Amino acid sequence: MDENTIARVTVDAVDAAYTVHKELGPGLLESVYEAALCHELSNRGIEHNRQVKIQAAYKRLVLADAFRADILVEKKVILELKSVEAISPVHKKQLITYLKLSGCKLGLLINFGSVLIKNGIIRVVNGLF
């Protein structure tokens, strides 16, 4: 998947998140936003998987179900959803770890707890600090 395709997927995911936030507003549980966002992505014909297992390895031990990414869009972009007052540094670190372990290059940290969704979206690129 080239950079233009990843950019299109990102725009589609942000637009879907905006639609969900506009309809539901802030303050609900993360699981509600996850279900609604998956429904919105499905309605738009966007391939995605929910609660995707990400494995980790320690020496020769493979931890098959070490982490779960909230949503994986078109097998390339991870959406990590939150519904909190404010994003903390640990949330970004969590997404960076998911990106490294999955091999994905791009992730969006989306905080549905923000009053304005545009202030609640953080783009994270694997390998850039």
Domain interval for residue 70: 3-125
Query: Rg of the Cα trace of the chain?
Result: 14
Res 109: pLDDT: 98
Average pLDDT over residues 97-119: 95
Q: What is the pLDDT of residue 128?
A: 61
Q: What is the pLDDT of residues 50-99, one digit of tens each?
A: 999 999 999 999 998 889 999 999 999 999 999 999 999 999 999 999 99
Domain count of the fold of the chain: 1
Task: Supply the pLDDT for residue 1.
Answer: 54
Report how far residue 83's alpha carbon sits from residue 29's, in angstroms, rounded to the nearest whole number. Answer: 6
Question: pLDDT at residue 107 above 60?
Answer: yes
DSSP state at residue 75: T
**Helix, coil or strand: residue 52:** strand
pLDDT in tens, 16-49: 999 999 999 999 999 999 999 999 999 999 999 9
pTM: 0.92
For residue 9, what are the contacts with CB-CB under 8 A and spacing of at least 6?
A: 1, 46, 73, 74, 76, 77
Q: What is the CATH number of the domain that holds 44?
A: 3.40.1350
Contact 99, 92 (CB under 8 A): no
Question: Would you tell me how many other CB atoms lie within 10 Å of the CB of residue 87?
Answer: 18
3-state SS, residue 41: helix
Is 116 a residue whose pLDDT tops 90?
yes
